[in-house]
Structure 1
């Protein structure tokens, strides 16, 4: 599926905030993908680690805006990334350009939603309460969780129970 999604992404229009597949090869029991590699770069999780685990609101806003453009482009192309997280966003440190990577968990957007396992700690509440989730709302949820972590230095919801309850505490230092 990852190869198919990468091929779909290459259809015009392109988005500067996505790492594109340049080539791919099929081997006996695996696919080999050759992808763009922006240099110099690091993923956003590493960037946070270098910055005391959080960014200023201005920095986070600029980075998130680019992540939103990438996610929106995917949705417009009919692709649900399904694994949006700080590790899957590369930052070209020279250009301050964010690029979305890793479509290995992705799927085509379906109106009927998804029932199968959701990867990572960014599961939406409906994954637990209804055992079903949808691409658009889940993408927005995940982007919000990443923004929260970028500006606070901590996950929005440390546990599954916190996600279900919607217990979220904002730092008083954040702008209103």
Structure 2
């Protein structure tokens, strides 16, 4: 199989929106990774802006510790992103294999991570989803930051100069992001880097809990246990980074000046910004209403599976500062949803977390049954929650009633 000058090889990975294939330039023999995205799925999931943001962001970044985007093209059904091939796997796998890394090895990778993040910030790019799964390692043991789908650019900031979208991965998210009062993208990225450093050094997460609400409570308090068996320098820099107060948290310059960080530090040199730009077929990437009509695709969400974290991110009105005001109450409910023949085909669990008197967080999980029914339920619930956004809270009884209504309708 060929795509232009590229000979397509084995599949490296698959996701909700497409797959990544190994490819070789037939002219030069150079190896690349080509991300092949399904446009219909992208439009159905309404993540076209996310994809365009990732492409626009990667187009800006030319650094040895950031995955490079070399070319973008598209057909009526697919988008092709020609990316740098990183053959060492994820940092997550490297840590999982060893249990934890030595301080020397962790410091080297952390130095490269900070170099990459500092460069991104200089370009006005805030990653917002830094975690070991989004940090790749090449054959020489050097890191490459990847997956900029949740990144933000200066134009995403509001008039107050802050970002306001709640996003990221629960264990790595900064406390100020959870508070929904606006946050500095650079400082929230630094927090995530600190969590990654902690994981590399100890093999464990500094903040963890199966209950997502309790997890957020721990993050907001910021009382991470720093093992005494780490060197004094490692302990100190971790405490300075994992400070829940972003104003007091150490910044990039402070990290680079830290004695622990400076050992054996060799700053990375960014690539020349004047080098030839990537090839991009801009017109073919334009996901307009005309394209929707041409392909007969309805502009609606086909699958919208939500967990409590995604629910929190839906609305800026959801303020988690109520964690400290009173104890959390957890209500659990399970319902078996029946199909038209009366046979049970879907079992879900719904957890309602009472944050305060007027605010509830709802988490749905499919225990067993028909995936299509679960998707339909999530889609319908998502639409209902869209209406609830303007009401600023979710009532426990209304959620139970909704589940009862789905039970009868299915």
TM-score by length of 2: 0.40
State the match for 2:141 in structure 1: 96
Q: Cα distance, 1:83 vs. partner?
A: 1.2
Task: Give the structure with the larger strand fraction.
Answer: 2
Which of the residues 131, 137, 150 maps onto 1:85?
131
Give the match for residue 200 of structure 2.
150
C-alpha distance after superposition, 1:78-121 (max 9, x if no partner): 1111111101111113x121111111111203472221221202
The alignment of Structure 1 onto Structure 2 pairs a total of residues equal to 169
Match of 2:73 in 1: 25
CA distance in 2, matches of 1:49, 1:147: 14
For the residues of structure 2 that align with 1:138 and 1:63, how far apart are their CA atoms?
19
Aligned-partner SS, 2:101: coil
1:50-82 deviations in whole A, cap 9, x for unaligned? Answer: 102x11111110001101111111111111111
Structure 2 counterpart SS, 1:33: strand
Mapping 1:92-171, distance limit 5 Å: 92-93=138-139, 95-109=140-154, 110=157, 112-121=161-170, 122-158=172-208, 159-171=215-227
Partner of 1:42: 89
CA–CA distance in structure 1, aligned partners of residues 103 and 168 of structure 2: 27
**1:143 deviation in Å?**
0.6
Contact 1:2 1:106 in 2 (8 A): yes
* Corresponding residue SS for 1:99: strand
1:173 Cα deviation (Å)? 1.1
The 1:71–1:30 alpha-carbon spacing in structure 2 relative to 1, beyond 3 Å, is farther
Structure 2 runs not aligned, ≥5 long:
1-52, 209-214, 233-410
Give 5+ residue unaligned stretches, structure 1: none
Structure 1 partner of 2:58: 6
Contact 1:124 / 1:133 at 8 angstroms: preserved in 2?
no
Q: Matches of residues 57-72 of structure 1 in structure 2 within 5 Å?
A: 57-72=103-118
- The higher radius of gyration belongs to 2
Give the 3-state SS of the residue equivalent to 2:223 in structure 1: coil
CA RMSD of aligned residues (A): 1.6
Partners of 2:149 and 2:131 lie apart in 1 by 13
Deviation (angstroms), 1:28: 3.8
Is 106-115 or 151-160 further displaced after alignment?
106-115
Deviation of 1:38 after TM superposition, in Å, equals 2.4
Residues 38 and 26 from structure 1, CA distance in 2 versus in 1: closer, same or farther, beyond 3 angstroms?
Answer: same
Is the 8 Å Cα contact of residues 113 and 143 (structure 2) preserved in structure 1?
yes
